[in-house]
Amino acid sequence: MNKEHPLCRKKAVTIHDIAEYPLILYKEGSMLRKDLEESLNRNNLPYEIVIEMDEADNLKKFVEMGIGISILSSLTITNEDKKKFVIFNVNNLFNTIEYGIYCRKNKFITSSMRKFIKVFAPDLFNDEQSPNLDSLLPAMGTRNEDTGSMNE
């Protein structure tokens, strides 16, 4: 939220606090918005959505202008944002979101795919050379990108 916002004086924010202020949210259909609205409705709290958008950067612009507050994924928060905004961790107010990595059965996993998976699920890898991923996906094999041959 904008550093001038009244909630900035609090040490923690509750769902009741959030309901008191105009909300700047992602468009309907986003998981963050769904979780927020479920929490507000579960607590029978009235709320006002003043702006709906698709992009986190656009939401931040309106928060910076002082139009309202927003709930964003920590993945969208930059070091610059940390200087401009007061950011509260509100994970305790929402359901836990679980994500999965999907790939086609019986298809090779390229080194690029492995790197992508390592960013989001580093625990699937023992070290750079011996990923646990192979034991989870035994039928998939890997492809040597230099030769194009399949390893089983």
pLDDT tens sequence across 69-109: 999 988 888 999 999 898 998 888 876 666 677 777 777 77
Written as one letter, the residue type at 21 is Y
Say how far apart CA 15 and CA 40 lie, in whole Å. 7
Give the tens place of pLDDT for each residue, 30-44. 888 998 999 999 999
Write out the CATH class of domain 6-90. alpha beta
Q: What pLDDT is attached to residue 21?
A: 95
Query: Is beta strand 49-53 parallel, antiparallel or unpaired with respect to 150-151?
Result: unpaired
CATH 3.40.190.10 in the chain, residue ranges: 6-90
